Structures are given as structure tokens and as C-alpha cells.
């Protein structure tokens, strides 16, 4: 009987550990790793970012959150587009988003735009991590674009390209 209780205890502890290992594993959260992102900073993760964004944007949940976990992710030039179903959507950066280091990443693209957020109401970008341009000659804080957004007041420490008041909190933009 003691063996059975011991086995049950181990199973319960393992189950609890697995279910709590991802602090952002609830229905409103869209973790990049669940959409095929590969950490390390050497593999382009643009498609994983878009898949997570599109899932969050089309979600019927009240406050969807795209989570960039505590890892390094290389991202080629990308545009996150709305409108989204929810009244607000959060982009939570816990790790690092890295710009490409070669000009070929911008072939046939606008070199003045690396990360773009377009047509999104209620966007909230919160960063405990880093958005790193890696000293790329085209990168400036203006390579992060916010356009055609409404109904959101800025709450954060720094906002770049603020035509329609997105919220950016504790973001570290690094050149």
C-alpha cells in the first residue's frame, strides 16, 4: 500500500511540475515556442512569430498575449497586422528579439522597417527583455513602426513612431 501511495505521489508531483513549467500556458497566451520558434539567435523565426501573432490576433479570447520567452530569437523584417478580434492584444517580450546581421535579409523589403505593427487597436508591448538591432547600419529605433492604431493611451517608458498611441512598457531598444 505504501508503494502505491508513493507512486501516486510521484505521479502527482510530476504532473504538477509539467503543468506549471510554462507560466504562460493558459488559453489567452501564445508562446512562440508552441509555434515552432527555435531559440539561440541564429535561425530566422519570422514564420513562428507570424503564426503566434495570427493565432493571438484571430483568437476569441478577451486579452490574448504573444509571449517571447526568455531566449534569443532572430527575426527578419516582419509586419504584425490587424485588425484583431480582441479589443486589446499584448506582445510580451521576456527574452531577446535580434535583428538579422546581413543586408540580404532586407532584399526586396523596406530597409527602414524591421518590426512593424499595423492596424492594431489596443496594442500593448511590454518588455522585460530586449529588442536588439545588433548595430545593423540600417537599424534605428524608428525601424520599429506603429501605424494606424486607435483607442490606446501610451503608458510606457518609450514609444517610437507613435502616430496613434500604442502602449509600450519598459522596452529596451538596443542598437
Could you report the per-residue pLDDT of 121-166, keeping only the tens digit for each? 889 988 899 888 776 544 455 556 555 454 443 444 333 333 344 5
How many domains, the chain? 1
Residue-level pLDDT at 97: 94
Report residues of the chain scoring pLDDT below 70.
1-26, 135-175
Domain of 60?
A: 28-174
| Domain presence at residue 78 | yes
Q: 125: exposed, middle or buried (C-beta count within 10 Å: 0-12, 13-18, 19+)?
A: buried
Residue 21 belongs to some domain of the structure: no
The whole-number pLDDT of residue 90 equals: 93
Domain assignment present for residue 2? The answer is: no
130-132 β-sheet, strand order: 72-74, 96-98, 130-132, 173-174
Quick check: is 23 in a domain? no
pTM above 0.85, yes or no: no
Q: How many CA atoms does the CB half-sphere of 17 hold within 13 Å?
A: 6
In-domain check, residue 135: yes
The verdict on residue 164 lying in a domain is yes
Distance of CA 40 to the CA centre of its chain: 16
**Is 17 contained in some domain?**
no
Q: What is the pLDDT of residue 154?
A: 40
Residue 74 counted as domain residue? yes
Q: Do you know the residue count of the chain? A: 175
Amino acid at each position: 500500500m505504501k508503494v502505491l501511495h508513493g507512486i501516486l505521489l510521484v505521479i502527482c508531483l510530476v504532473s504538477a511540475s509539467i503543468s506549471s513549467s510554462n507560466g504562460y500556458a493558459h488559453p489567452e497566451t501564445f508562446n512562440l515556442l508552441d509555434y515552432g520558434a527555435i531559440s539561440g539567435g541564429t535561425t530566422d523565426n519570422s514564420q513562428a512569430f507570424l503564426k503566434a501573432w495570427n493565432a493571438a490576433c484571430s483568437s476569441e479570447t478577451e486579452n490574448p498575449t504573444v509571449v517571447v520567452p526568455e531566449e534569443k530569437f532572430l527575426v527578419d523584417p516582419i509586419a504584425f497586422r490587424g485588425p484583431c478580434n480582441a479589443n486589446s492584444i499584448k506582445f510580451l517580450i521576456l527574452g531577446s528579439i535580434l535583428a538579422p546581421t546581413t543586408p540580404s535579409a532586407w532584399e526586396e523589403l523596406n530597409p527602414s522597417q524591421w518590426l512593424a505593427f499595423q492596424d492594431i487597436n489596443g496594442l500593448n508591448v511590454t518588455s522585460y527583455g530586449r529588442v536588439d538591432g545588433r548595430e545593423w547600419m540600417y537599424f534605428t529605433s524608428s525601424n520599429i513602426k506603429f501605424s494606424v492604431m486607435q483607442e490606446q493611451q501610451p503608458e510606457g517608458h518609450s514609444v517610437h513612431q507613435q502616430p496613434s498611441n500604442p502602449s509600450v512598457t519598459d522596452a529596451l531598444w538596443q542598437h
